[in-house]
Amino acid sequence: MATYRLRINGEPRTVQAEPETPLLWILRDNLTLVGTKYGCGRGLCGACTVHVGGAPLRSCQLPVAAVGDQEVLTIEGLSPDGSHALQRAWIEEDVPQCGYCQAGQIMTAAALLRAKAHPSRSEIVEAMAGNLCRCGTYNRIVRAIERAATALPATPRSGARGGA
């Protein structure tokens, strides 16, 4: 067992764990942040996606010892009150069926929109390709991301129309 000082959703958290314990189980077991889901446990399905240092990562594959001082963002920290454009769009499009994969879907989508506020449909499909949904809600996921994107202000780059 070792002690790790993490930054989760903007707050310092100290946990005791075996070094190879995946971040997923630190979040769920140690910190009771159960919004991040255990799907395949092998980095294949995307249900456990969180942001680490701003990048979407599979938390089931990241040992807690490798997190270091990088900021970790989970679905619980995406917005203080569920008002993130994606969360609103997910409700408006009534995306989930069983819902189990959706936190991972939203976190992947949030990383996409932060990198590019107004992605094309094909860019959305490509960015989301690693997040599986056995209910098959893919079409609504794409629509929700498109809806959220229209609610976001243009990023400086995409706002510079005609610029190269």
Partner 1 sequence: MAPSSAAGLDRRALLRATLTAGGALLLRFPLRLEAAFAAEPPSAVPFAPNGFLRIAPDGQVTLYAPLPDMGQGTRTSLPMVVAEELDLPWSAIKVLQADLDPAAFPEGQGAGGSDSLYSGWEPARRAAATARLLLVKAAAARWGIPASACSTESAAVVHTRSARRVAYVELLGDASRATVEAAEIVPKSLDRYRLVGTRIGGVDVPAIVTGRPLYGLDFRLPEATLRASIAHAPRHGAKLLQIDEAAALAVPGVRRVVAIDGLTNPTRLRRGIAVLADTTWAALQGRRRSRHSGNRRPRRRTTARV
38 contributes a contact to partner 1 by CB under 8 A: yes
Residue 2: Cβ within 10 Å count? 11
126 contributes a contact to partner 1 by CB under 8 A: no
User: In whole angstroms, what is the distance from residue 11 CA to residue 95 CA?
Assistant: 30
Segment lying near partner 1 (by CB under 8 A), choices 14-22, 115-123, 124-132, 148-156: 14-22
| Shortest CB 83 distance to partner 1, Å | 10
- Residue (23 or 117) nearer to partner 1, CB: 23
34 contributes a contact to partner 1 by CB under 8 A: yes
User: In whole angstroms, what is the distance from residue 140 CA to residue 35 CA?
Assistant: 20
User: In whole angstroms, what is the distance from residue 24 CA to residue 17 CA?
Assistant: 12
Q: Which of 49, 59, 74, 108 binds partner 1 (CB under 8 A)?
A: 74
| Shortest CB 55 distance to partner 1, Å | 19
Of 60, 7, 19, 53, nearest in space to 36 by CA: 60
What distances in angstroms separate CA 121 from CA 59, 109, 143, one per listed residue?
Answer: 27, 12, 9
Phi, psi dihedral angles at 137 (to 5 degrees): -90, 20
Segment lying near partner 1 (by CB under 8 A), choices 34-42, 115-123, 124-132, 146-154: 34-42
Provide the binding-site residues for partner 1, judged by CB under 8 A. Answer: 1, 17-18, 21-22, 25, 28-30, 33-38, 41, 74-76, 78, 82, 86-87, 90-91, 94-100, 102-103, 106, 135
